[in-house]
């Protein structure tokens, strides 16, 4: 029997050695020693403040109630004019995100989503003020394409020149909110990757929190299993309003939902109010709109929480206010 | 330079050899009309497969800003291939004695078969084209060279199987079940591609996107975001879709496609009941083949390219019922043996399927016997599985089984991923029929798309008014019930009522009762005594079964994640007269 020569011996021994070395190297570099892993989420806790720090024109108000006009778009125009115009809030070249409430598969008459004409007019004003891009998005409760279509907001925003982004799972990224209750949650990235953020909610009854408008509208920025938030609804709303402080809040109260909120379903549950509230203070806007749908602001705990956290004031009449 | 010129010359030579191959034997060229027909066939096959896939991908509602706010529809005949399927039409004709709406189009395919033979199989069928391509691209050593000639010879025993499956399916239809739809190639294509291939692509895309998100590069992230957005718009949807036990459907697809490596077009030759159905009508076909046996040199080139294994070679009878009319044989024949023409001589041709009469009768009997055998078990009426929640607009269970061909169009179109292929929940006979699993997705109240795309009327084309109950009683698919031992306000003194928030009916079927409950603190009192107790007010949810439509939104959103505290079962479904709770609205004196 012929034995392998020295060259062959070295080759075979070398190959076996290299395979062993490679395996050992891989094993050692990827070795999990089973040490207790660092618990909890990593990264900085963040909040997003989009408010503008300006010296407004002398005659400009910070809180405007526009009313008694059947045309929603005209109400929005009047309110913003009284605030010193959209240019006060939007700089040339800004990326602006408009966040309506597009939560439900309901038509405008049922008043469960923001009125499309209000959304469209806000978009138009932002573009006229020089915004580079205006995005409209929301994380809906019902099936999103249906909500965006049947609310009429898709068409209204598109016609006004906005980009409409439907919530897709890959657009949610885990973020650490600066919250008492909420720590790490998936947040709709489109919403926070903006220069300016305009909150355009609708004023509605809510069976658990009594009233929903501006602050509660930030539920629509979250992904994940947000159905758990109801267990501490006031605290979670206050946390979200601390996380996202918008440039401007425009509450649509042209037609409001008085019962069976937040979803409604029956047009008899809704009533016309022909009002739009614009404010730089989200707590003040909510306090005023809350009274408008017949609820007592002092019975809505998250408003007081917002005030004590310094997010704003429920005493809207202490702001430079005006009615038009 | 010289090298480039040389390569160019080689390439040109290669191209010429490919385009104008030197023909074997006498080298007689095929008739121009035949060469044109072969290319026309390839074009039609490609177009038909692409059309099928496009319609399948469009079987969804992606939203639109031009759309009518009140009525959401797919707006395309996405179930077109199924409507043109004569096997589906024949089964449902036998089971219901009617031809449902668009199924009348199947007369067109039948007419085509009566003139040209099984052109559907060779030219149009998307599933056939998939097999054609895989058998051509990936033959194993059993499908190459001389072995391919053997593999393409008629194998009478094997090729009879499809006729037996056809007879069994039709007999089962007479006995009251469209179960044969499980074997229909169009149904298989929709079901397998829609429920397993597309979700698999979506899964891979999402996994790749998640991997890219790990790398902290804003440019990469925005690129993968746009790629995912574009793919979602073109192929699938934003929402990730998963289907209950779709793995089985995927494995069966892979298995039947893999068989092409061993027996080319295994599915078409051996199993396809639609091919068999068309094969029984091919005997009347006006176009057929004539062979000049004397001229044949047994070069077997026709066999190398044969799709149907229908004996095109000289010396044997041509099997008209097996031929896919692909014209490859005449195109390949270098000796002027094979000629396709109108009104050919029928000498030396077998036009009828060669199935043994006894086996044919036995297989039909087996198909007919299957249905009573399946129904003496606990389905349909007694001991009905409460989890079998049928889509809105579904007809009563017995008629539903007469109509449902398991094509999965409804599951593909469902925007909330609520409809799933049943395993054995609906009985042996109910395999792959649609059931609603609310925990995965609820029935969107204003949506009527499943009925829109159902080709056989198992799910009726209802309107929004009927479904939502505008001016009439709404359509209910089941009723919700609370598990009070798991519900937060009921058992754990914790506020919740997400179910009530999502309940879409007006007035809401879920209503809340405000109660003051005692709650014990979680930490002991400072002196180590029993933890303190306090009173708080919670809203406890209740269901009003007369208002509940069984949509399952409450079950979907219940925060008790693993086993929800509110769940829907089929009780109270509008379509059934027996699966009921409440007495009101049921006037038995009127008759049905």
Model pLDDT, residue A32: 87
Start-to-end Cα distance in chain B: 89
Model pLDDT, residue A3: 85
CA distance A75 to A65: 9
Q: In Å, how far are A217, B439, B479, B539, B542 from B545, measured between CA atoms?
A: 32, 20, 6, 19, 9
CB contact under 8 A, A225 and B561: yes
CA distance B475 to B254: 39
Q: How confident is the model at residue B379 (pLDDT cuts 50, 70, 90)?
A: low
Model pLDDT, residue B141: 85
Q: Chain A to chain B, count of Cβ pairs less than 8 Å apart?
A: 116
pLDDT higher than threshold 70 for residue B591: no
Most distant pair of Cα atoms in chain A: their distance: 108
| Residue from A153, A230, A257, A301 whose CB has the most chain B CBs within 10 Å, to mutate | A230
Containing H/E element for A232?
A: none
Percent of chain B scoring above 70 in pLDDT: 96
Mean pLDDT for B23-52 is 91
Q: How confident is the model at residue B524 (pLDDT cuts 50, 70, 90)?
A: confident
> What digits encode the pLDDT tens for the residues A81-111?
999 999 999 999 999 999 999 999 999 999 9
Buried b (16+ CB within 10 A) or exposed e, A177-190: bebeebebbbbbbb
Q: How many residues make up chain B in this entry?
A: 592
Which chain B positions have a beta carbon within 8 Å of A169's beta carbon? Answer: 206, 238-240
CB contact under 8 A, B494 and A145: no
Cβ within 8 Å of residue B36, ≥6 positions away: none
> What digits encode the pLDDT tens for the residues B419-454?
999 998 888 889 999 999 999 999 999 999 999 999
The 3-state DSSP class for residue B544 equals coil
Does residue A150 sit at the B interface (CB-CB below 8 Å)? Answer: yes
The residue behind tokens 């903006």 is A194
Model pLDDT, residue B19: 65
Does residue B75 sit at the A interface (CB-CB below 8 Å)? Answer: no
> What digits encode the pLDDT tens for the residues B320-373?
999 999 999 999 999 889 999 999 988 888 888 888 889 999 999 999 999 988
How far apart are the CA of B462 and the nearest CA of chain A, in angstroms?
Answer: 18
How far apart are the CA of B32 and the nearest CA of chain A, in angstroms?
Answer: 52
pLDDT higher than threshold 70 for residue B589: no
- Higher-pLDDT residue of B110 and A58 is B110
pLDDT higher than threshold 70 for residue B67: no
Chain B residue with the nearest C-alpha to that of A261: B501
Q: Which of B564, B567, B541 is nearest to B552 (CA)?
A: B567
CA distance A42 to A61: 42
Buried b (16+ CB within 10 A) or exposed e, B320-356: bbbbbbbbbbbbbbbbebbebeeebeeeebbbebebe
**Strands in B292-407 per DSSP E:** 318-319, 338-342, 349-350
CA distance B146 to B300: 9
Mean pLDDT for B477-500 is 95
CB contact under 8 A, A230 and B495: yes
- Beta-bridge partners for A100: A200
CB contact residues (below 8 A), chain B span 18-47, against chain A: none
Cβ within 8 Å of residue B341, ≥6 positions away: B287, B288, B290
> What digits encode the pLDDT tens for the residues B285-334?
999 999 999 999 999 999 999 999 999 998 899 999 999 999 999 999 99
Model pLDDT, residue B348: 82
> What digits encode the pLDDT tens for the residues A257-275?
998 889 988 889 999 999 9
CB contact under 8 A, A145 and B503: no
Model pLDDT, residue B20: 64
pLDDT higher than threshold 90 for residue B30: no
Q: How confident is the model at residue B223 (pLDDT cuts 50, 70, 90)?
A: confident
Q: Locate all alpha helices (DSSP H) within chain A, ordered by sequence.
A: 6-29, 72-82, 116-128, 144-150, 153-160, 189-192, 233-243, 282-292, 301-308
Containing H/E element for A188?
A: strand A184-188
Q: How far is CA B462 from the centre of its chain?
A: 22
Does residue B228 sit at the A interface (CB-CB below 8 Å)? Answer: yes
Cβ within 8 Å of residue B495, ≥6 positions away: A208, A230, A231, A232, A233, B488, B489, B538, B539
Which chain A positions have a beta carbon within 8 Å of B209's beta carbon? Answer: 170
Model pLDDT, residue B588: 46
CB contact residues (below 8 A), chain B span 428-487, against chain A: 444-447
Does residue B219 sit at the A interface (CB-CB below 8 Å)? Answer: no
Mean pLDDT for A184-201 is 93
Q: How confident is the model at residue B13 (pLDDT cuts 50, 70, 90)?
A: confident
CA distance A122 to B238: 27
CA distance B465 to B448: 10
pTM above 0.95, yes or no: no
Which chain B positions have a beta carbon within 8 Å of A146's beta carbon? Answer: 61, 63, 72, 415, 444, 446-447
pLDDT higher than threshold 80 for residue A42: no
Model pLDDT, residue A179: 86
Does residue A155 sit at the B interface (CB-CB below 8 Å)? Answer: yes
Does residue A186 sit at the B interface (CB-CB below 8 Å)? Answer: no
Cβ within 8 Å of residue A195, ≥6 positions away: A50, A91, A94, A95, A96
Q: Which of B69, B225, B445 sits opposite A170 (nearest CB)?
A: B225
Chain B residue with the nearest C-alpha to that of A105: B446
Model pLDDT, residue A222: 93
Model pLDDT, residue B592: 41
In chain B, helix, strand, coil percent, each to 5?
Answer: 50, 10, 45
Cβ within 8 Å of residue A74, ≥6 positions away: none
Model pLDDT, residue B347: 84
CA distance A79 to B81: 56
Which chain B positions have a beta carbon within 8 Å of A231's beta carbon? Answer: 488, 494-496, 559
Asked if B56 contacts B236 with a C-beta cutoff of 8 angstroms, the reply is no
Q: In Å, how far are A60, B341, B487 from A319, measured between CA atoms?
A: 11, 91, 44
| Residue from B501, B508, B555, B559 whose CB has the most chain A CBs within 10 Å, to mutate | B501
Region of B63 please: left (phi>0), alpha (psi -120 to 50) or beta.
Answer: left
């Amino acid at each position: 029997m012929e034995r392998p020569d020295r060259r062959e011996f070295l080759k075979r021994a070398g190959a076996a050695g290299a395979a062993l070395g490679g395996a050992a190297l891989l094993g050692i570099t990827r070795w999990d020693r089973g040490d207790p892993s660092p618990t909890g989420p990593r990264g900085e806790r963040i909040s997003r403040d989009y408010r503008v720090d300006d010296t407004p024109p002398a005659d400009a108000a910070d809180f405007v109630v526009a009313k008694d006009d059947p045309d929603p778009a005209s109400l929005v125009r009047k309110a913003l004019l009284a605030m010193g115009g959209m240019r006060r809030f939007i700089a040339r070249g800004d990326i602006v995100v408009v966040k309506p409430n597009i939560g439900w598969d309901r038509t405008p008459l049922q008043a469960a989503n923001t009125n499309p004409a209000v959304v469209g007019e806000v978009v138009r004003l932002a573009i006229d003020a020089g915004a580079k891009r205006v995005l409209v998005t929301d994380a809906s409760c019902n099936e999103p394409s249906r909500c965006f279509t049947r609310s009429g907001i898709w068409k209204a925003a598109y016609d006004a020149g906005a980009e409409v982004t439907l919530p897709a799972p890959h657009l949610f990224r885990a973020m650490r909110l600066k919250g008492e209750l909420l720590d790490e949650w998936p947040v709709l990235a489109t919403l926070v990757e903006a220069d300016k953020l305009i909150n355009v909610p609708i004023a509605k009854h809510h069976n658990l929190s009594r009233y929903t408008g501006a602050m509660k509208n930030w539920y629509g920025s979250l992904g994940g299993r947000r159905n758990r938030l109801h267990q501490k609804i006031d605290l979670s709303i206050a946390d979200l309003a601390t996380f996202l402080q918008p440039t401007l809040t425009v509450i649509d109260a042209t037609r409001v939902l008085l019962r069976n909120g937040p979803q409604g379903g029956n047009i008899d549950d809704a009533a016309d109010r022909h009002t739009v509230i614009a404010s730089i203070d989200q707590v003040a806007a909510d306090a005023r709109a809350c009274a408008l749908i017949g609820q007592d602001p002092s019975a809505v705990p998250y408003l007081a929480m917002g005030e004590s956290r310094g997010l704003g004031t429920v005493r809207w009449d202490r702001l430079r206010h005006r009615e038009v | 330079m010289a090298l480039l010129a040389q390569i160019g010359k080689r390439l040109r030579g290669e191209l010429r050899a490919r385009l104008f191959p030197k023909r074997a034997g006498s080298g007689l060229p095929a008739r121009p009309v035949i060469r044109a027909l072969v290319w026309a066939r390839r074009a039609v096959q490609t177009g038909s497969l692409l059309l099928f896939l496009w319609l399948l991908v469009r079987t969804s509602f992606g939203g639109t800003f031009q759309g009518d706010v009140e009525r959401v529809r797919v707006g395309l005949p996405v179930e077109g291939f199924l409507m043109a399927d004569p096997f589906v039409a024949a089964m449902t004709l036998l089971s219901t004695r009617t031809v449902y709406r668009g199924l009348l189009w199947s007369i067109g395919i039948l007419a085509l078969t009566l003139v040209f033979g099984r052109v559907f199989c060779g030219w149009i069928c998307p599933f056939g084209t998939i097999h054609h391509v895989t058998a051509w691209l990936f033959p194993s050593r059993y499908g190459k060279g001389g072995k391919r000639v053997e593999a393409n010879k008629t194998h009478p025993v094997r090729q009879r199987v499809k006729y037996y499956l056809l007879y069994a399916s039709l007999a089962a239809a007479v006995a009251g079940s469209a179960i044969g739809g499980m074997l229909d190639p169009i149904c298989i294509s929709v079901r397998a591609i829609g429920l397993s291939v597309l979700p698999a692509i979506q899964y891979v895309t999402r996994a790749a996107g998640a991997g890219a998100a790990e790398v902290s590069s804003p440019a990469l992230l925005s690129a993968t975001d746009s790629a995912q957005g574009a793919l979602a718009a073109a192929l699938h949807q934003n929402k990730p879709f998963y289907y209950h036990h779709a793995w089985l459907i995927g494995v069966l697809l892979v298995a039947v496609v893999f068989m092409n490596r061993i027996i080319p077009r295994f599915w078409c030759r051996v199993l396809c009941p639609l091919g068999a159905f068309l094969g029984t009508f091919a005997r009347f076909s006006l176009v057929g083949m004539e062979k000049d046996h004397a001229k044949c040199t047994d070069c077997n080139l026709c066999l190398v390219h044969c799709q149907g294994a229908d004996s095109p070679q000289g010396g044997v009878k041509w099997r008209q019922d097996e031929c896919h009319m692909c014209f490859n044989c005449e195109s390949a024949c270098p000796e002027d043996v094979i000629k396709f023409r109108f009104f050919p001589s029928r000498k030396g041709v077998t036009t009828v399927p060669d199935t043994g009469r006894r086996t044919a009768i036995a297989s039909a009997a087996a198909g007919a016997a299957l249905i009573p055998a399946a129904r003496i078990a606990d389905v349909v009426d007694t001991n009905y599985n409460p989890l079998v929640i049928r889509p809105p607009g579904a007809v009563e269970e017995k008629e539903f089984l007469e109509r449902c061909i398991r094509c999965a169009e409804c599951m593909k179109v469902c925007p909330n991923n609520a409809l799933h292929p049943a395993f054995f929940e609906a009985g042996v006979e109910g395999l792959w029929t649609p059931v609603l699993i609310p925990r995965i997705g609820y029935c969107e109240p204003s949506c009527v798309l499943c009925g829109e795309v159902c080709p056989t009327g198992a799910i009726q084309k209802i309107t929004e008014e009927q479904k939502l109950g505008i001016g009439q009683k709404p359509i209910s698919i089941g009723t919700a019930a609370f598990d009070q031992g798991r519900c937060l306000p009921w058992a754990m003194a914790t506020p919740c009522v997400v179910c009530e928030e999502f309940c879409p009916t007006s007035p809401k079927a879920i209503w809340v009762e405000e109660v003051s409950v005692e709650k014990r603190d979680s930490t002991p009192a400072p002196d180590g005594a029993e933890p303190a107790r306090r009173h708080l007010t919670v809203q406890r949810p209740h269901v009003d079964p007369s208002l509940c439509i069984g949509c399952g939104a409450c079950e979907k959103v219940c925060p008790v994640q693993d086993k929800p505290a509110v769940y829907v079962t089929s009780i109270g479904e509008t379509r059934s007269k027996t699966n009921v709770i409440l007495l009101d609205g049921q006037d038995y004196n009127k008759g049905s």
